[in-house]
Amino acid sequence: MRKSFTSEFKFKVVLEALREESTLTEIASKYEIHTNQILNWKKQLLERAPSLFLDKRTKKSKQKEDQKEESLYKTIGVLKVENEFLRKKYKDVYGTDPG
């Protein structure tokens, strides 16, 4: 049966490993886990750590830009359809292409 660990426990173990006051073998035996497990948790923490310091304002402004861009594309699509419709109507009424 597999053991399940809380995020607090994992962080505690990895923090102890990062301090390097004890060897990985000592930490592993202390908490009764395998050294590879500590290394995996440590790797996960180090990979995800930079995202902790992302500026949330930048993320929100990027979302607003994306929404604005999407709105503009929708408007362009509507205008193209209207333009094509009017061009066909003009051609039907006057017999020539206005363009």
How many CB atoms within 10 Å of residue 90? 14
Report the C-alpha gap between 94 and 88 in whole angstroms: 10
73 pLDDT above the threshold of 70: yes
In the chain, what is the greatest distance between 2 CA atoms, to the nearest angstrom?
90
Please give the pLDDT value at position 60. 73
Q: What is the pTM of this model?
A: 0.54
Is the confidence at residue 99, as pLDDT, over 70? no
pLDDT of residue 10: 96
